[in-house]
């Protein structure tokens, strides 16, 4: 039985049927050898969220599946018996092929690696077959109605992309088993249609296909194909070859988008890393490290250093929980950080309650400038601390002691694991001594700082007297009490709503997080006269070429929420407000660009509303003979006839396709009339209309690039080029249309459809390989006996088939690759169809030219 079945299987030949080669028997397993499909299974494709499948892809898969199943059901095999999305394979050219049919006797003993796989494989099995097989304990041949049931489940999968019964997330068998048992119990448990975004006819078809009673399920050829006809309208509008080119282009564009998105993510990660580094080290130093340079220690002549410490911190910590201490210090240092941002200073470090800041490092200006920055900052911090409340001890006044000193120092990076930018020299010690010998809520400074501050306008200093400083001896020191003209408000920013560092929380990509709480930030600015961090808010605003879609979206979003952000510049430390609108320019630019596809960029110089001029058209608007023209104001582009089936060997003008698709964002224009010049309402269809030789208005094709199923027209008058499997050579074009119309009429009148007297697929003559009529656009041409020679390499009839991959050459490759394994099938069997239009190349001269892509796939069955 199996041998006969295999013979039949080997004779099957259809673009949508995966070729079966034979079996390879091993001691404990049987390998099925079949054609390899580069893009793996439909289930894998649907699960891959990176792949955007628009309705054209889905419709094309459905159409291929239906064609394959019609062929299979009309073949001698009659039944698939194992239809599921893992057995619908996708070729490198995005054609769907039905695989793993038949051989139920061999599968009967199949062992599953785990229970999940067993139960999962039953999700496509109809209730009556579940009962018959006792939930997969036995394998049966299956039935055509069972295949239809499986098709219904696959259709649902195609729409939801969430696996059969939307169980994509469940990887344990219990849930899957529950579902299978519910189906088997005959309770009409089926995938949910609630909230499904698809048109009514799709849901109807699904419901019909998975009817509880097999006799209520429709057949593929007459009912399913007819019911789903509106879905294929998009495909038929183009001919299959145009469609394939468009599909491949779309795939390519998707890949480009994906690369762009990933690049944007990478860029963002890099930005975060750099940002993190820049928070740990001064910017210039971080940049040197990022550039791979070592940082040489640098000496600075006269910098001013600030030290502060909390008086009684040890006592406070002793009386508090560690978490309270962390919360307290976090609140305090967030406040400090927000203040010091306004000054030209660098925060060196915090050690416990100690806070160290320097001005003059790593970029040095003048002695007085740096002393002035630190002096003003110290007064500002002191003012803020007076009003500061310890969160868990609101009654206590925080006692901060501040010390300043001016002098020379050396700065450099120490350590490799956690590199730190440190200051060295006696100036650091002296500044620390000034702090430790100071008094709470006072700024204590050395004589050198006093000298410099005295030279700057407005600083008020009082001599403290002579102090014996440990390790230094007697020193005259001073109190910095204020600065004339500067009133530091005791209020401080609402640090709880202050912008958070965007390196740790992954909230928004692209630096928009700074604006997340715009109003809070503005409030903070107004309350405290503090500025926003211009640096971080502007980081997104750098214009850059080739915005990724993620960035485009972000910029668009930012634009929508955009407000003028008051930004505070500190020429006089806290007196003036300005307004910046950092995002405006780049947004304008990116939003203009976002509306266009990449292809459009190439044609940007052309006007976006091209005038099409028809040439050689008749009164019906049909185009004759040679080329049409598109006039772009002053430029003419020749529209070539679709070339692939033309005897003069013209080629499809892909550039033009690109151009047309690039114009898809152009708003619609009035439909065509018969005047010689008109506007293009929708570019892509226009091309297909041009090449098809007829002009009709086409509204459905104006939909966006990824329309939902709702966008599909309910009923679209069939206007199509013929596709593979159509019996055009026998019927002629008109007969084909008549047959369709007749079927439409009968179905709409509720008349039964009797078996087709002229089947699309001629049943294979007994003992001979089925001959499949291959037509498509070729049939529009006078057959000259060697039409195949004119087929381009991507012609559907050649999809995934090496022209030289005759069975014998495949067999030789297989035999070579598996050595002396037993092969069930005779290699001498000639698989070339008797009436094949392509002469069979002699086996000896058959080059194995497709070696880079394996053509065989051996799936293991234990
Ligand atoms: N790329 C590629 N992947 C394949 C091919 N055939 C199968 N696969 C992968 O292997 C998975 C499992 O396929 P099979 O081994 O046939 O198992 P199954 O379809 O779940 O079960 P049965 O066919 O009933 O044995 C598929 O989902 C694909 O991911 C192929 O031709 N090409
Ligand atoms: Mg399989």
Looking at 75-89, 249-263, 483-497, which range is the least confident one? 483-497
User: Residue 613 forms beta bridges with which residues?
Assistant: 629, 677
Nearest alpha carbon to residue 39 among 59, 21, 57: 57
What pLDDT is attached to residue 257? 84
pLDDT band at 340 (very low <50, low <70, confident <90, very high): very high
pLDDT band at 236 (very low <50, low <70, confident <90, very high): low
Q: What is the 3-state secondary structure (H, E, C) of 694-723?
A: CCCCCCHHHCCCCCCHHHCCCCCCCCCCCC
Q: pLDDT by residue (tens digit) across 316-333?
A: 889 999 999 999 999 999
CA distance 571 to 593: 38
The kind and range of the H/E element at 313 are helix 313-318
Average pLDDT value for the chain: 67
Kindly list the distances between the CA atom of residue 441 and the CA atoms of 319, 388, 397, 530, 805, in Å, as whole numbers in the listed order. Answer: 22, 12, 10, 22, 89
- Neighbour tally for 718: CB within 10 Å: 16
* The pair of three-digit structure tokens given for residue 282, joined into one six-digit string: 């001064």
Asked if the model's pLDDT at residue 690 lies above 80, the reply is: no
Span from the CA of 197 to the centroid of ligand 1 (angstroms) = 29
- Neighbour tally for 601: CB within 10 Å: 13
Asked if the model's pLDDT at residue 582 lies above 70, the reply is: no
pLDDT band at 288 (very low <50, low <70, confident <90, very high): confident
Maximum Cα interatomic distance, the chain, rounded to a whole number of Å: 118
Q: Cβ(44) to ligand 1 under 6 A?
A: yes
Question: Considering only CA atoms, which residue is closest to atom 5 of ligand 1?
Answer: 40
Q: pLDDT by residue (tens digit) across 367-376?
A: 999 999 999 9
Question: Considering only CA atoms, which residue is closest to atom 17 of ligand 1?
Answer: 86
Task: Say whether 752 sits in a helix, a strand or coil.
Answer: coil
Q: Cβ(121) to ligand 1 under 6 A?
A: yes
Asked if the model's pLDDT at residue 818 lies above 60, the reply is: no
Q: Cβ(35) to ligand 1 under 6 A?
A: no
Task: Say whether 161 sits in a helix, a strand or coil.
Answer: coil
Give exposure, 261-287, as e/b (b: 16+ Cβ within 10 Å): eeebeebbeebbeebebbeebbeebbe
Question: How many residues belong to the chain?
Answer: 862
Span from the CA of 87 to the centroid of ligand 2 (angstroms) = 4
CA distance 418 to 276: 12
Atom of ligand 1 nearest to the CA of 860: 15
pTM for the structure as a whole: 0.44
Nearest alpha carbon to residue 524 among 547, 493, 552: 493
**Which stretches does DSSP call E strand in 551-602?**
565-567, 578-580
Question: Considering only CA atoms, which residue is closest to atom 20 of ligand 1?
Answer: 86
C-beta separation of 606 from 683 below 8 A: no
CA 81, distance to chain mean position in Å, is: 36
The residue among 435 and 716 whose pLDDT is bigger is: 435
Span from the CA of 860 to the centroid of ligand 1 (angstroms) = 10
The residue among 487 and 206 whose pLDDT is bigger is: 206
What pLDDT is attached to residue 842? 41
Q: Cβ(500) to ligand 1 under 6 A?
A: no
pLDDT band at 747 (very low <50, low <70, confident <90, very high): low
What pLDDT is attached to residue 377? 95
What pLDDT is attached to residue 670? 36
As a whole number, mean pLDDT of residues 689-699 equals: 33
Looking at 24-33, 208-217, 733-742, 758-767, which range is the least confident one? 758-767
Task: Say whether 658 sits in a helix, a strand or coil.
Answer: helix
C-beta separation of 639 from 687 below 8 A: yes
Asked if the model's pLDDT at residue 603 lies above 80, the reply is: no
As a whole number, mean pLDDT of residues 306-315 equals: 92
Q: What percent of the chain has pLDDT over 90?
A: 34
Kindly list the distances between the CA atom of residue 152 and the CA atoms of 6, 58, 148, 164, 217, in Å, as whole numbers in the listed order. Answer: 27, 14, 6, 10, 10
Q: pLDDT by residue (tens digit) across 16-45?
A: 999 999 998 888 888 899 999 999 999 999
Span from the CA of 89 to the centroid of ligand 2 (angstroms) = 8
Q: Cβ(663) to ligand 1 under 6 A?
A: no
As a whole number, mean pLDDT of residues 641-665 equals: 33
The residue among 525 and 217 whose pLDDT is bigger is: 217
Span from the CA of 40 to the centroid of ligand 1 (angstroms) = 7
Which ligand sits closest to the CA of 857? 1
As a whole number, mean pLDDT of residues 733-743 equals: 50
C-beta separation of 765 from 813 below 8 A: no
Q: Cβ(36) to ligand 1 under 6 A?
A: yes
Span from the CA of 43 to the centroid of ligand 1 (angstroms) = 9
As a whole number, mean pLDDT of residues 707-722 equals: 36
Report the Cα–Cα distance between both ends of the chain, in Å, rounded.
Answer: 20
Q: Phi and psi (nearest 5°) for 631?
A: -100, 120
Q: Cβ(92) to ligand 1 under 6 A?
A: no
* Residues, beta carbon < 5 Å, ion ligand 2: 86-87, 100
C-beta separation of 371 from 320 below 8 A: no
What pLDDT is attached to residue 197? 84
Question: Considering only CA atoms, which residue is closest to atom 18 of ligand 1?
Answer: 86
CA distance 818 to 666: 57
As a whole number, mean pLDDT of residues 2-27 equals: 91
Asked if the model's pLDDT at residue 841 lies above 80, the reply is: no
Asked if the model's pLDDT at residue 613 lies above 90, the reply is: no
Give the torsion sign (CA, 250, 253, 258, 259).
positive
In this structure, what is the dihedral angle of CA atoms 610, 614, 615, 618, given to the nearest 10 degrees? Answer: 180
Question: Considering only CA atoms, which residue is closest to atom 6 of ligand 1?
Answer: 40
CA distance 777 to 720: 10
Q: pLDDT by residue (tens digit) across 371-408?
A: 999 999 999 999 999 989 899 998 888 899 999 999 99
Q: What percent of the chain has pLDDT over 70?
A: 55
As a whole number, mean pLDDT of residues 545-551 equals: 38
What pLDDT is attached to residue 508? 35
- Counting ligand 1 atoms within 8 A of each CB, the residue from 30, 39, 40, 108 with the most, and so the one to mutate, is 40
Question: Considering only CA atoms, which residue is closest to atom 8 of ligand 1?
Answer: 40
pLDDT band at 548 (very low <50, low <70, confident <90, very high): very low
SS3 of the chain: helix, strand, coil, percent, to 5: 40, 15, 45
Asked if the model's pLDDT at residue 698 lies above 80, the reply is: no
Task: Say whether 70 sits in a helix, a strand or coil.
Answer: helix
Looking at 268-272, 448-452, 604-608, 621-625, which range is the least confident one? 604-608
Asked if the model's pLDDT at residue 179 lies above 50, the reply is: yes
* The pair of three-digit structure tokens given for residue 241, joined into one six-digit string: 């070859």
As a whole number, mean pLDDT of residues 214-237 equals: 88
Span from the CA of 404 to the centroid of ligand 2 (angstroms) = 77
With a CB cutoff of 8 Å and minimum separation 6, the contacts of 702 are 668, 681, 682
pLDDT band at 749 (very low <50, low <70, confident <90, very high): low
C-beta separation of 26 from 825 below 8 A: no
- Neighbour tally for 820: CB within 10 Å: 6
Nearest alpha carbon to residue 616 among 604, 608, 605, 624: 624
CA distance 793 to 401: 82
As a whole number, mean pLDDT of residues 224-245 equals: 77
The kind and range of the H/E element at 20 are strand 20-25
Question: Considering only CA atoms, which residue is closest to atom 15 of ligand 1?
Answer: 859
Asked if the model's pLDDT at residue 786 lies above 90, the reply is: no
Asked if the model's pLDDT at residue 569 lies above 90, the reply is: no
């Amino acid at each position: 039985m199996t041998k006969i079945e295999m013979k039949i299987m080997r004779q099957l030949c259809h673009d949508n049927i995966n070729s079966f080669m034979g079996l390879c028997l091993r001691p404990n397993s049987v390998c099925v050898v079949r054609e390899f499909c580069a893009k793996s299974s439909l289930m894998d494709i649907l699960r891959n969220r990176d792949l955007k499948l628009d309705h054209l892809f889905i419709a094309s898969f459905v159409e291929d599946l239906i064609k394959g199943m019609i062929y299979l059901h009309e073949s001698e095999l009659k039944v698939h018996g194992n239809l599921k999305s893992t057995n619908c394979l996708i070729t490198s050219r995005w054609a769907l092929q039905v695989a793993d049919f038949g051989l139920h006797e061999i599968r009967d003993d199949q062992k599953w690696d785990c229970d999940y796989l067993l139960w999962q494989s039953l999700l496509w099995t109809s209730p009556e077959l579940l009962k018959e097989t006792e939930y997969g304990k036995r394998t049966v041949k299956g039935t055509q109605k069972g295949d239809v049931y499986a098709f219904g489940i696959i259709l649902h999968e195609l729409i939801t992309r969430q696996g059969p019964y939307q169980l994509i997330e469940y990887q344990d068998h219990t849930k899957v088993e529950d579902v299978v048992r519910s189906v088997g119990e005959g309770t009409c448990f089926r995938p949910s249609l609630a909230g499904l975004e698809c048109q009514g006819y799709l849901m109807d078809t699904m419901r019909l296909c998975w009817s509880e009673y097999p006799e209520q399920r429709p057949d593929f050829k007459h009912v399913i194909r007819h019911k789903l006809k509106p879905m294929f309208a998009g495909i038929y509008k183009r001919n299959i070859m145009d469609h394939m080119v468009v599909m491949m282009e779309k795939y390519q564009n998707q890949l480009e988008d994906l690369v762009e998105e990933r690049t944007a993510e990478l860029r963002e990660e890099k930005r975060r890393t750099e940002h993190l580094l820049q928070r740990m080290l001064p910017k210039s130093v971080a940049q040197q490290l990022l550039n791979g340079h070592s940082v040489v220690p640098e000496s600075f002549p006269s910098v001013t250093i600030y030290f502060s410490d909390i008086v009684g911190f040890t006592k406070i910590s002793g009386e508090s929980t560690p978490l309270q201490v962390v919360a307290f210090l976090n609140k305090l240092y967030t406040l400090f950080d927000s203040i010091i941002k306004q000054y030209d200073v660098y925060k060196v470090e915090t050690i416990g309650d100690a806070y160290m800041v320097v001005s003059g490092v790593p970029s040095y200006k003048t002695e007085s400038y740096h002393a002035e920055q630190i002096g003003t900052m110290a007064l500002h911090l002191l003012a803020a601390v007076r009003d500061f409340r310890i969160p868990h001890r609101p009654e206590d006044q925080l006692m901060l002691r501040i010390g300043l000193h001016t002098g020379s120092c050396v700065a450099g990076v120490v350590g490799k694991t956690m590199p730190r930018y440190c200051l060295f020299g006696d100036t650091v010690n002296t500044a620390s001594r000034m702090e430790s010998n100071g008094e709470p809520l006072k700024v204590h400074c050395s004589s050198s700082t006093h000298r410099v501050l005295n030279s700057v306008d407005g600083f008020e200093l009082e001599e403290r007297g002579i102090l014996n400083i440990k390790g230094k001896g007697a020193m005259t020191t001073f109190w910095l009490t204020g600065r004339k003209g500067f009133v530091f408000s005791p209020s401080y920013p609402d640090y709880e709503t202050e912008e958070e560092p965007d390196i740790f929380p992954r909230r928004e990509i692209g630096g928009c997080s700074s604006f997340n709480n715009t109003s809070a930030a503005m409030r903070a600015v107004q309350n405290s006269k503090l500025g926003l961090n211009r640096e971080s808010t502007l980081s997104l605003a750098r214009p850059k070429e080739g915005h990724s879609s993620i960035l485009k979206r972000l910029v668009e979003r930012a634009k929508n929420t955009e407000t003028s952000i008051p930004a505070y510049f500190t020429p006089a430390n806290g007196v003036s407000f300005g307004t910046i609108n950092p995002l405006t320019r780049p947004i304008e630019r990116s939003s203009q660009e976002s509306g266009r596809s990449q292809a459009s960029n190439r044609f940007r110089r052309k006007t976006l509303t091209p005038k099409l001029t028809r040439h050689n058209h008749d009164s019906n608007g049909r185009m004759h003979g040679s080329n049409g023209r598109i006039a772009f104001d002053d430029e003419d582009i020749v529209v070539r006839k679709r070339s692939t089936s033309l005897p003069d060997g013209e080629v499809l003008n892909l550039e033009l396709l690109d151009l047309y698709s690039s114009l898809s964002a152009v708003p619609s224009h009035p439909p065509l009339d018969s005047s010689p010049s008109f506007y293009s309402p929708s570019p892509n269809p226009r091309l297909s209309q041009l090449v098809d030789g007829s002009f009709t208005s086409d509204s459905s094709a104006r939909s966006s690039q990824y329309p939902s199923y709702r966008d599909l027209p309910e009923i679209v008058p069939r206007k199509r080029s013929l596709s593979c499997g159509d019996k055009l050579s026998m019927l002629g074009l008109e007969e084909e249309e008549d047959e369709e119309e007749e079927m439409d009429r009968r179905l709409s009148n509720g008349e039964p459809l009797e078996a087709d007297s002229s089947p699309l697929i001629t049943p294979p003559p007994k003992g001979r390989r089925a001959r499949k009529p291959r037509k498509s656009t070729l049939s529009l041409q006078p057959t000259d006996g060697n039409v195949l020679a004119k087929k381009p390499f991507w012609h559907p009839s050649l999809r995934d088939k090496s022209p030289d991959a005759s069975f014998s050459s495949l067999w030789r490759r297989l035999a070579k690759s598996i050595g002396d394994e037993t092969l069930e099938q005779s290699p001498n069997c000639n698989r070339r169809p008797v009436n094949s239009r392509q002469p069979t190349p002699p086996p000896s001269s058959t080059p194995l030219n497709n070696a880079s892509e394996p053509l065989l796939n051996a799936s293991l069955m234990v």
